Amino acid sequence: AVVSKGSRHYPPLRALQTSAVLRRASDEHKKAPLTSSSQQHFDSPPAGHQPEQKPQGSRPSYTGQGGQESEDYESEEQLQHRILTAALEFVPEHGWTAEAIAEGAKTLGLSVAAAGMFHSDGSELILHFVSECNSKLSELLEKEQKLVQLGEAEKKPIDEFLRDAVEARLRMLIPYIEKWPQALSVLLLPRNIPSSLNLLTSMIDDIWHYAGDQSTDFNWYTRRAVLTGIYNTTELVMMQDSSPGFEDTWRFLENRVADAMTMSNTASQVQSTGEAVVQGLMGAAVTIKNLAGLNQRR
């Protein structure tokens, strides 16, 4: 029998077909399934196409057809997101590899072949993890900011703020610290550099934003460059740190942040000294011109 659905012309409608796995996003929130009577309102499955696994709950009713992306079915990206999240718990054992992704897919009830959706070197898994950590950091910083705004907490001085933010972010690596060097090397592959650099810069940007930086001049760049340097070096130190509770790493971090502060003080001192020197020179030049009689008006 010839399949006669209009899926080719309405790509979003494909999500409505009995997808075996893409489940309704609303399933996560709703407990009671919808009534099955609503199944009559849209395309019935084409003849010959046997749906072997109906998604949990029945489909919602639609008045329109095609073109309307169903809000309830998750997209492929969301499914991939779920698989990667599930795969994270297998990373300490298998490393950042396609095997960890396969195990993750298994826990979701999918076949291990689903790991084929991702690249075989585990790049997507690592990038997913990094972006998750960055989101968590943002949430943390926002919560702190709210507390400060409500007056329930003291506003921290800049160096302490930066120190705490970087420490919080690095602590998220601790469960995966053994395999993290592998992840770092994968992130440096030419293919991944645009994405990993993007994630890094947006994280640093976030930290400075919550630190209250509103500069619009060249300082914007120097601040971010400095903090990126601090973050990267501390991360590398953490990789080979074997002290209890990573004390050495936090001490290193403290020193680097202090260095940065001193440097910025020095920079502004140099600038004002420079200005003073220039003014002095200008004055000297005018004096000399007066002495030489060049300034006289005839």
Partner 1 sequence: MAAVLLCRCRALLSRPAGAPRARRGLAAGPEMHFGFQTVTEEERREKIYQVFENVAKKYDVMNDSMTLGIHRVWKDILVHKMNPCPGTLLLDVAGGTGDIAFRFINYVRSVRKRQLQRKLKHHQNLSWQEIFESYQKDEFNSLGDSQVVVCDINREMLKVGKQKAQHLGYSEGLSWVLGNAEELPFDDDKFDVYTIAFGIRNVTRIDLVLLYRSKLITPALSQALQEAYRVLKPGGRFLCLEFSHVSNPLLSRLYDLYSFQVIPVLGEVIAGDWRSYQYLVESIRQFPPQEELKAMIEDAGFFKVDYENLNFGIVAIHSGFKL
Picking from 239, 162, 269, the residue whose alpha carbon sits closest to that of residue 208 is 162
71 binds partner 1 (CB under 8 A): no
Nearer to partner 1, 20 or 197 (CB): 20
Of these, 13, 110, 165, 166, which contacts partner 1 (CB under 8 A)? Answer: 110
44 binds partner 1 (CB under 8 A): no
Sign, CA torsion 10/16/20/21: positive
Of these, 12, 18, 209, 211, which contacts partner 1 (CB under 8 A)? Answer: 18
Q: What minimum distance in Å lies between the beta carbon of 179 and partner 1? A: 12
Q: Which residues contact 55 (CB under 8 A, 6 or more apart)?
A: 18, 19, 22, 23, 24, 27, 73
72 binds partner 1 (CB under 8 A): no
CB-hemisphere CA count at 13 Å for 6? 9
111 binds partner 1 (CB under 8 A): yes
2 binds partner 1 (CB under 8 A): yes
Taking the C-alpha atoms of residue 235 and residue 200, their distance in angstroms, rounded to an integer, is: 12
Q: What minimum distance in Å lies between the beta carbon of 93 and partner 1? A: 9
1 binds partner 1 (CB under 8 A): yes
Of these, 35, 38, 107, 120, which contacts partner 1 (CB under 8 A)? Answer: 120
20 binds partner 1 (CB under 8 A): yes
Sign, CA torsion 208/212/216/219: negative
22 binds partner 1 (CB under 8 A): yes
Q: How far is CA 56 from CA 22, 36, 76, 83, in A?
A: 10, 11, 17, 18
Identify residue 164 by its one-letter amino acid code: D
**Widest Cα–Cα separation across the chain:** 108
CA torsion angle 139 143 149 151 (round to 10): -170
78 binds partner 1 (CB under 8 A): no
114 binds partner 1 (CB under 8 A): yes
Which of these ranges, 42-50, 61-69, 194-202, 262-270, lies near partner 1 under the rule CB under 8 A? Answer: 42-50
Nearer to partner 1, 61 or 78 (CB): 78
φ and ψ at residue 73, rounded to 5 degrees: -85, 140
Of these, 27, 58, 68, 112, which contacts partner 1 (CB under 8 A)? Answer: 112
Of these, 30, 41, 67, 76, which contacts partner 1 (CB under 8 A)? Answer: 76
105 binds partner 1 (CB under 8 A): yes
**Helices 98-107, 76-87: inter-axial angle, 10-degree rounding:** 110
Of these, 49, 146, 191, 251, which contacts partner 1 (CB under 8 A)? Answer: 49
β-strand partners of 24? 73
Name the site residues for partner 1 (rule: CB under 8 A): 1-3, 5, 7-8, 14, 17-22, 48-50, 52-53, 76, 79, 98-99, 102, 105, 108-117, 120
